[in-house]
Structure 1
Amino acid sequence: MAWVGGTGAFSGLLVIALGIVTLRTGWIVPTARRHVTRPHRHGLGAPLTGSSVVLRGLFCFRVLPSVSWEARFFGGNALLLTGLLLIGPSRLPPPRRSRDHGDPSGV
């Protein structure tokens, strides 16, 4: 069962690294490039989502001091949900502008 925690921790570290690269350079993985319209928001959500998985792996290997299962469960889910709430809207198309957007006088 330790391989589950190790695989999760490794994939979480990979997601965190990709999120940091996205924040610093704006680069998106080629498979997601077509779908992501807001790279900054995607870059903020990826480390949060990855840290949730890494923390669960660290608790599995007892690297971190043990806390109650409620704190691990709700804390990990809060990180995961926050990350997904940032990643989800990053894939929405940009808002449309109205035709008279360039004319501030309203005439």
Structure 2
Amino acid sequence: MAWVVGTGAFLGLLAIIWGTVTLRTGWMVPTARRHVTRPQLHGLGALLTGTSPLLQSLFYFRILPSISWEVRFFGENAFLFAGILLIALSQMLPVRRSPDHADPSGV
């Protein structure tokens, strides 16, 4: 069972690193570049999504002090679903247009 939790912790760390890189530089994985319209939302969503399995592994290996399972369950699910929602919004929201840009069709 420990290898499953360890793998989740590793994937959580990868998601946190990916989110941090996206927030700091705006870089996206090449397969996601075409779909993501707001990289900051995507990076924040990756951070929150990666936090959930990392916290789960820290509680499992008793690195963090144990709290009730209800708090862990609902807290980790809140991080996970908030991250997934932000990732979905980063792909569904339209691209923001600045009002000072000229309209290419009106030229």
Structure 2-normalised TM-score? 0.85
Gaps of 5+ in 2: 103-107
Q: What amino acid maps onto 1:71 in structure 2?
A: V
Consecutive aligned runs of 4 or more in structure 1 exceeding 6 Å deviation: none
Identity, % of aligned positions: 68
**1:11 aligned partner:** 11
Distance 1:95 1:26, change over 3 A: closer
How many aligned positions are there? 98
Structure 1-normalised TM-score? 0.85
Aligned mates of 1:32, 1:12 — CA distance in 2: 18
Alignment of 1:20-59 (within 5 A): 20-59=20-59
Task: Indicate the SS of the match to 1:27.
Answer: coil
Distance 1:59 1:92, change over 3 A: same
Aligned-residue Cα RMSD (Å) equals 1.7
Report the Cα offset of residue 96 of structure 1. 9.4
Aligned mates of 2:23, 2:95 — CA distance in 1: 22
Decide which structure has the larger Cα Rg and report it.
1
1:37 touches 1:92 (CA, 8 Å); kept in 2? yes
Aligned mates of 2:3, 2:96 — CA distance in 1: 47
1:44 touches 1:86 (CA, 8 Å); kept in 2? yes
Q: What amino acid maps onto 2:57 in structure 1?
A: G
2:11 touches 2:50 (CA, 8 Å); kept in 1? yes
1:5 touches 1:58 (CA, 8 Å); kept in 2? no
Aligned mates of 2:48, 2:95 — CA distance in 1: 26
Aligned mates of 2:34, 2:42 — CA distance in 1: 13
Aligned mates of 1:2, 1:83 — CA distance in 2: 25
Alignment of 1:61-76 (within 5 A): 61-76=61-76
Report the Cα offset of residue 44 of structure 1. 1.0
